[in-house]
């Protein structure tokens, strides 16, 4: 009785924070380096491609020539496959009215063409025939096109397999063909070739995977050849899509990929910050512990 022993508390906290720090910092470094390796070219073209003051009038006029040529210099060697994305800013694909304005049944099954209830106001034509594919999403399909040439030499942009295979197989019917699409007074976006089934309309499939954020990128196609450093990249853009009336932006993006996906420094920086903080906290705890030790005494019984 009465013999005391000291036990130090707080070790577990300090070691826990140290552990978190030790795990997080390497992950951060790995993510960051993977992100840094990715070569990404972003070229916003919506303002420079329209030189007139009345941009909305320009874009809505079907007579104007909307061709626009952009030249880019590749800063680093880009390894194939190189993804071409179009990036739209301040476009609310996640708006409540927009996001539900589609008919999955109609997209999948030929006999469900009449199921256009959710698609209003783009469900049926003025004379009541169902629109396939119906709804605001399909109606507003992106319709800018890009022709890419490297050092003046045109190269092919592979637009095959840009959509999810699962969507092509199970969400869009191979026997469902577009009909009555973009036949109304107001033409929203791209028109569809009525002889190609929906399951092969990959641009549509990509577009219909709605984005959760107002600024998003969608895959346009792939370049299957490497691009060397300092190569001149010329892109001829058909600047058709109207982002001007709502002040949105459009950009062309070329990017290589790595295990982490596209270029994203956020994760790496966040990991490094948290890892650093944890180590710092651990250090603070150690210092506190040195200055003001906490002992709890337990008797030896």
Partner 1 sequence: MAHVTRLARSAPSSLLCTVSASLCLTGHIARFSGPGPLLRETADESPARSYGELDAAAEIWRRTAVLVLRPSPSPSRLQFFAKLKAMKRFVYINDESYQNDYCDNRISNTKYTLWNFLPKNLWEQFRFVTLSATKEAWDDYNRYISDRQANEKELWIVKNGSRKHIQAQDIQVGNIVWIRENEEVPCDLVLLGTSEPQGVCHVETAALDGETDLKTRVIPPPCVGLEFDQLHKLKGVIECPVPDKDIRRFDANIHLFPPFIDNDICPLSINNTLLQSCYLRNTEWACGVAVYTGNETKLGMSRGVPEPKLTAMDAMIDKLTGAIFLFQLSLVVVLGSAGNIWKDSEARKQWYVKYDDDEPWYQILVIPLRFELLCSIMIPISIKVSLDFVKSLYAKFIDWDEEMFDLENDTPAHAANTAISEDLGQVEYVLTDKTGTLTENKMIFRRCCIGGTSYGNECGDALKDVELLNAIANGSPHVIKFLTVMTLCNTVIPIKSPNGSISYKAQSQDEDALVNAAANLHMVLVSKNGNIAGRMSVVVLDCQSGKILLLSKGADEAVLPCAYSGQQTKTFVDAVDKYAQLGLRTLCLAWRELESEEYAEWSRLFKEANSALTDREVGVPETIEILRQSGINFWMLTGDKQSTAIQIALLCNLISSEPKGQLLYINGRTEDEVARSLERVILTMRITSSEPKELAFVVDGWALEIILTHYSEAFTELAVLSKTALCCRVTPSQKAQLVKLLKSCDYRTLAIGDGGNDVRMIQQAHIGVGISGREGLQAARAADYSIGKFRFLKRLILVHGRYSYNRTAFLSQYSFYKSLLICFIQIFFSFLSGIAGTSLFNSVSLMAYNVFYTSIPVLTTVLDKDLSEKTVMQNPEILLYCQAGRLLNPSTFAGWFGRSLYHAIVIFLITIHAYSNERSEMEELSMVALSGSIWLQAFVVTLEMNSFTFVQLLAIWGNCIAFYAINFFISSIPSSGMYTIMFRLCKQPAYWITLLLISGVGMGPVLALKYFRYTYRPSAINVLQKAERSRGPMYSLVNLESQLRSDKDTMMVPVATTPVKGKSSVYEPLLSDSPMASRRSLGSSSFDIFQPAHSRTSYPRNIKAN
* Contact present, 229 and 75 (Cβ < 8 Å): yes
User: Which candidate, 252, 220, 224, 268, places its Cα nearest to that of 78?
Assistant: 224
* Contact present, 91 and 214 (Cβ < 8 Å): yes
Shortest separation between residue 163's beta carbon and partner 1, angstroms = 12
Quote the CA–CA distance of 141 and 193 in Å, as a whole number.
13
Tell me if 58 contacts partner 1 by CB under 8 A: no
Which pairing describes strands 153-154 and 145-150: parallel, antiparallel, or unpaired?
A: antiparallel
Tell me if 217 contacts partner 1 by CB under 8 A: yes
* Contact present, 223 and 159 (Cβ < 8 Å): no
Of 42 and 68, which CB lies nearer to partner 1 in the complex structure?
A: 42
Q: Which of the ranges 80-88, 125-133, 150-158, 194-202 carries the binding residues for partner 1, by CB under 8 A? A: 80-88
Tell me if 267 contacts partner 1 by CB under 8 A: yes
* Contact present, 44 and 215 (Cβ < 8 Å): no
Helix H or strand E segment including 271? helix 265-291
Of 20 and 68, which CB lies nearer to partner 1 in the complex structure?
A: 20
Contacts with partner 1 in 116-145 (CB under 8 A)? Answer: 121-122, 136, 139-140
Q: Which of the ranges 4-12, 65-73, 126-134, 191-199 carries the binding residues for partner 1, by CB under 8 A? A: 4-12
Shortest separation between residue 247's beta carbon and partner 1, angstroms = 7
Q: Which of the ranges 93-101, 154-162, 175-183, 221-229 carries the binding residues for partner 1, by CB under 8 A? A: 93-101
Quote the CA–CA distance of 207 and 86 in Å, as a whole number.
11
Shortest separation between residue 16's beta carbon and partner 1, angstroms = 7
Q: Which of the ranges 14-22, 45-53, 155-163, 174-182 carries the binding residues for partner 1, by CB under 8 A? A: 14-22
Tell me if 280 contacts partner 1 by CB under 8 A: no
68, 155, 277, 279: which one contacts partner 1 (CB under 8 A)?
A: 277
97, 117, 183, 191: which one contacts partner 1 (CB under 8 A)?
A: 97
| Cross-strand partners of 217 | 87
CB count within 10 Å of CB 169 equals 10
Of 58 and 232, which CB lies nearer to partner 1 in the complex structure?
A: 58
By CB atoms closer than 10 A (0-12, 13-18, 19+), residue 243 is buried
């Amino acid at each position: 009785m009465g013999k005391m022993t000291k036990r130090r508390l707080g070790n577990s906290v300090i070691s826990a924070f140290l552990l978190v720090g030790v795990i997080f910092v390497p992950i951060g470094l790995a993510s960051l380096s993977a992100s840094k390796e990715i070569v990404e070219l972003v070229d916003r073209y919506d303002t420079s491609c329209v030189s007139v003051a009345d941009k909305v009038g320009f874009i809505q006029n079907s007579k104007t020539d909307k061709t626009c040529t952009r030249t880019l210099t590749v800063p680093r060697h880009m390894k194939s496959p190189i993804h071409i994305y179009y990036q739209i800013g301040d476009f609310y694909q996640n708006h409540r009215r927009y996001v539900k304005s589609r008919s999955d049944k109609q997209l999948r099954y030929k006999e469900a063409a009449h199921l256009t209830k959710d698609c209003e106001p783009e469900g049926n034509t003025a004379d009541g025939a169902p629109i396939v594919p119906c709804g605001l999403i399909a109606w507003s399909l992106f319709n800018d096109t890009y022709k890419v040439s490297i050092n003046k030499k045109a190269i092919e942009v592979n637009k095959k397999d840009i959509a999810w295979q699962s969507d092509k197989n199970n969400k869009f019917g191979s026997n469902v063909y577009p009909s009555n699409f973009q036949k109304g007074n107001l033409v929203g976006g791209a028109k569809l070739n009525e002889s190609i089934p929906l399951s092969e309309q990959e641009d549509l499939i990509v577009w219909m995977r709605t984005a959760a954020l107002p600024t998003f990128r969608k895959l346009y196609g792939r370049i299957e050849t490497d691009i060397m450093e300092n190569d001149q990249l010329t892109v001829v853009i058909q600047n058709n899509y109207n982002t001007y009336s709502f002040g949105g932006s459009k950009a062309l993006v070329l990017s290589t990929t790595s295990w982490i996906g596209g270029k994203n420094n956020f994760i790496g920086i966040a990991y490094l910050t948290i890892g650093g903080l944890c180590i710092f906290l651990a250090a603070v705890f150690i210092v506190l512990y040195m200055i003001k030790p906490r002992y709890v005494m337990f008797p030896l019984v």
